[in-house]
């Protein structure tokens, strides 16, 4: 029962469309009509700049981090992963936007990773930042980060227990 409640809570928290709500509140505009049409931090950054994008990115990361951490601390790592995955699904298809297109889950996935594997998350953030600084493209950095995460997880599993 607790496992399922945490996972459902993860989806509901993940469905909070901060990239839609903050521009709507502070600019009276729908970010989905601009750029990529996404409600994620990158599109908010391109459209409105860092003043709105930084809070969106932090809130998107937190909505992945919180349910994953609660799952890990209250039930198990498996519950944390499931709750984090549910938050990511909620970000991609938010209930509060009638399951329309959400974001690409980069910040939310980073938050989940931070709760489940903090050392891997710190390394991935460093690689992401370095790639953004070198290429000036967040999308390239996200692809590179995703590749390094899978490499680190593979090394972690190969390590004897």
Whole-number pLDDT of residue 161 = 40
Q: Report the alpha-carbon distance of residue 80 to residue 116 in Å, rounded.
A: 7
51-97 confidence digits (pLDDT tens): 999 999 999 999 999 999 999 999 999 999 999 999 999 999 999 88
| pLDDT (0 to 100) of residue 149 | 57
Q: Is there a contact between 80 and 72 (Cβ–Cβ < 8 Å)?
A: yes
pTM of the complete model? 0.80
Per-position DSSP letters for 81-134, written without gaps between them: HHHHHHHHHHHHS-GGGTT-----SHHHHHHHHHHH-HHHHHHHHHHHHHHHHH
């Amino acid at each position: 029962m607790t496992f399922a409640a945490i996972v459902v809570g993860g989806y509901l928290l993940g469905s909070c469309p901060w990239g839609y709500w903050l521009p709507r509140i502070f600019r009276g505009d729908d970010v989905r009509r601009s750029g990529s049409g996404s409600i994620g931090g990158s599109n908010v950054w391109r459209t409105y700049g860092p003043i709105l994008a930084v809070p969106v990115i932090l809130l998107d990361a937190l909505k992945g981090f919180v349910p994953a951490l609660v799952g890990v601390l209250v039930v198990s790592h498996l519950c944390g992963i499931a709750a984090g995955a549910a938050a990511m699904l909620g970000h991609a298809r938010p209930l509060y936007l009638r399951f329309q297109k959400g974001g690409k889950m980069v910040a939310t996935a980073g938050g989940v990773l931070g709760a489940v594997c903090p050392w891997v998350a710190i390394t991935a953030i460093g690689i992401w930042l370095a790639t953004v600084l070198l290429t000036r493209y967040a999308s390239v950095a996200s692809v590179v980060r995703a590749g390094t995460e899978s490499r680190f997880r593979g090394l972690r599993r190969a390590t004897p227990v």
